[in-house]
Amino acid sequence: MFNICEYIISAVGKEQYPNQTGLNEYVFLGRSNVGKSSFINALTNQKKLAYTSSKPGKTRFLNFYLIDHRFFIVDAPGYGYAAQSHETRESFKNYVKEYLFNNQNLQVAFLLVDTKVGPTEDDVLMCEFLRSLHLKIVVIATKSDKVGNNLLFARQKAIKEKLNIGENDLIMTSSVKKIGFEKVREMLK
Ligand SMILES: Nc1nc2c(ncn2[C@@H]2O[C@H](COP(=O)(O)OP(=O)(O)OP(=O)(O)O)[C@@H](O)[C@H]2O)c(=O)[nH]1
Ligand SMILES: [Mg+2]
């Protein structure tokens, strides 16, 4: 478990990124409402480190958290939220793209997919985009508590196939039941 989890900054552009010394970074990406911010809270065992909401579009900007003075985790705004204005959607996209391009510090892009909803077309596009940047991708299936075993297995298979992800790069999780987090913690160095 981690000891010191600090919110550092909500950045909209490179000039605000706080990592001046080349510490490792890990980013959490995915559809709006998939559970990125909840995931970060459960991962760090904090109730309110990252803001969560039942309404999509809660996280705006790139939120940097420094963990044990060792590495950063980055909470990103979600995609695929139709009710957003075109401008908001485009600016979210640009913050995220700018962050992902040529980022030497970024070790893993965690792509969160909702277990109940399954991989969407947007998830497939995002995964392909991350792959085109040669980033290490780990897929996290969220909200596994919301489905029964049959659907769970079906989704596991669908995610692997549609996103072209290997056995070890898919982790089934639930922030509510605190399942799957130890595996992710082990990846953060
Ligand atoms: N049942 C269940 N609900 C969850 C889980 N994780 C998140 N949620 C719920 O899903 C909703 C969205 O969670 P957030 O963590 O705010 O989602 P987000 O991906 O950060 O959303 P944006 O910031 O809008 O991109 C909230 O109502 C959470 O309580 C989970 O593991 N199980
Ligand atoms: Mg969020």
The domain ranges of the chain are 5-187
| Helical ranges in 27-148 per DSSP H | 36-44, 86-100, 121-132
Q: Is the predicted pLDDT of residue 81 greater than 90, yes or no?
A: no
Q: Any idea what the Cα angle at residue 120 is, between residues 119 and 124, rounded to 5°?
A: 80
Identify the band that residue 57 occupies on the pLDDT scale cut at 50, 70 and 90: confident
Q: Which CATH class is domain 5-187?
A: alpha beta
Expressed in angstroms and rounded, the spacing between residue 54 Cα and the centre of ligand 1 is 6
- Give residues (CB < 6 A) around ligand 1: 30, 32-38, 52-54, 56-59, 77-78, 142-143, 145-146, 174-176
Q: Is the predicted pLDDT of residue 153 greater than 90, yes or no?
A: yes
Q: What is the pTM of this model?
A: 0.97
Strand, coil or helix: 130 = helix
Q: Rounded to an integer, what distance in angstroms lies between the CA atom of residue 59 and that of residue 78?
A: 7
DSSP 131: H
Q: For residue 135, how many other CB atoms are within 10 A of its CB?
A: 17
- Residue of 157 and 85 predicted with greater confidence: 157
Q: For the ranges 52-56, 66-70, 104-108, 139-143, which has the lowest average pLDDT?
A: 52-56
Q: What percentage of residues in the chain have a pLDDT greater than 90? A: 89
Identify the band that residue 92 occupies on the pLDDT scale cut at 50, 70 and 90: confident
Q: Report how far apart, in Å, the C-alpha atoms of 71 and of each of 76, 138, 182 are.
A: 16, 17, 17
